[in-house]
Amino acid sequence: MRDHPPLMRREQRPLLRRIRLPLLLPLLALATACSGAVLDPAGDVALQQRNLIYISTALMLLIIVPVLILTVVFAWRYRQGNKDATYDPHFDHSTTLELVIWSAPLLIIIALGALTWSSTHLLDPFRPLNRLSATKAAVPNDKPLRVQVVSLDWKWLFIYPELGIATVNELALPVDRQVRFDMTSSNMMNTFYAPTMAGMVYTMPGMRSTLHAVLNKPGTYEGMSANYSGAGFSYMRFALRGLDQAGFDRWVAGVRGRGGALSTANYLKLERPSERVPAMHFARVQPDLFRRIFERCVAPGTPCMSETMARDRAAGGGDPHAMQMGEGMPAGRGSMPRSKPEGALMKDTDEIETAPNVGKPRQPGAPGATDPASSRNRDMTNLLLPTAPGTPAAARG
C-alpha cells in the first residue's frame, strides 16, 4: 500500500497538464490580442478610438477590481474559524457604506456618459477632421482626398474620382492627409473596416455612407469586411498602403501606366461574385460610375433612382389626392399629406363624429336574444354541451 501514492502522483501528472492547458489558452489569447491592429493604430482616428477603449476599461476597473479584492478579504476575515471578527447578526444599515456603494458607481457612470457623448460627436464619421494628429491641426482650406468605395461580391473597389483611376483590393493613401470616403454596396450589406485607420462603417445598396480618416504612419496594413456576406466573406480583404506624398505620386503614375479601363462593361464583369481576387488597377474610369452604382442603374436601360423619383413627382408627388389614388411619391422627406386619411385613429377628438352602433342582423335559429338584458344571453349550455349545429334550444336543455 505504501507504493501506491507515488504511482498515483505519476499518473496524475498528464491529467494536471491537460487541465492547465485549457486554463492558459484564454490568457495567451488575451496577450496576443494586445498586439492586434486595434491597439496599434496608424491613424489619428484609430488612435482616439484606442484611447477611448483604454479610458473606458480603466474607469470600469475602478469598481471591478475593488469588488474582487473585497470579496476575497471579506471571505477570509469573516470565515467561520476567525474568532476575532465582529459578529453582528442585527446589522442592517450603514450610511457611510451606502454612500460608498452608490456614489462610486454613479460617478463612474457619469464619467462614462460624458466620455461617450463627447467622443460620439468628435469621432462622427460624417464630420470632417479637426486635426491630423495629436500635434498637427487640420488646415481649414485643405481639400481632403476623395475615395469612392464600393463593396462587391467578394472584393473591394476603390475609385479616385479626382485622379481618374481605380483599384481593386488595394487602397493607397498619402500620410498626414485627410481622406473622405464615400461608400456604397453593389448587392448586399457589408462593413468597411480598416482597424489601423478608423472604425467600421456599413455599406448598403442604394445608400451612401461617409467616413473621414487619416493615416499618420507609412506602411502596409490590412482592411476587411466585418459583416458576413456569403461564401467569399473570409477572403474579402484589401491591402491598405500608407505612402509619403512622393511615393503616392509614383504609385498613381504606375497605376496610370499599367492599368486598363473601368468601363461599364468591365464593371458588370467585375460585379459578378468572385473570391481571392488579386489587386487590380484601372488607369481610366467611366465618368459618373459611382453615382450610377449608388443609384443602381449601371446596366444599360436601367432607370436610376433619381429618375424614378422625378417621374413619380411629376405624376403627382406631394399632391394628397394623387397619393390617395396610388400615384406619385411625397415631394420630400418632410412632406405630409395635407388632408388626414379617413379613420378615427388619425383624427383629433373634436373631429370624431358619433354614429349609431349597427350590428349584424340576427340569423334565424341563432342562440341568444336580441334584448341585451335577457338572461338567455348568459346561458352557456351551448358551450358546455357540444351538439350538432342547428339543434333547438329545448333539445339542448
pLDDT in tens, 23-45: 555 555 554 444 577 888 888 99
Paired sense of beta strands 179-185 and 170-174, if any: unpaired
Q: What is the pLDDT averaged over residues 81-108?
A: 86
Q: How far is CA 74 from the centre of its chain?
A: 42
Tell me the pLDDT band of 253, cut-offs 50, 70 and 90.
Answer: very high
Cα–Cα distance, 343 to 340 (Å, whole number): 9
Cα→Cα distances 215→34, 39, 240, 372, Å: 21, 15, 10, 80
Residue with the three cell numbers 489601423: 196
The candidate with the shortest Cα–Cα distance to 213, out of 96, 320, 132, 107, is 132
Q: What is the pLDDT averaged over residues 299-315?
A: 84
Cβ(257)–Cβ(139) below 8 Å: no
Q: What is the pLDDT averaged over residues 278-286?
A: 93
pTM: 0.68
Q: What's the pLDDT at 92?
A: 84
Cα–Cα distance, 48 to 51 (Å, whole number): 5
349: left (phi over 0), alpha (psi -120 to 50) or beta: alpha
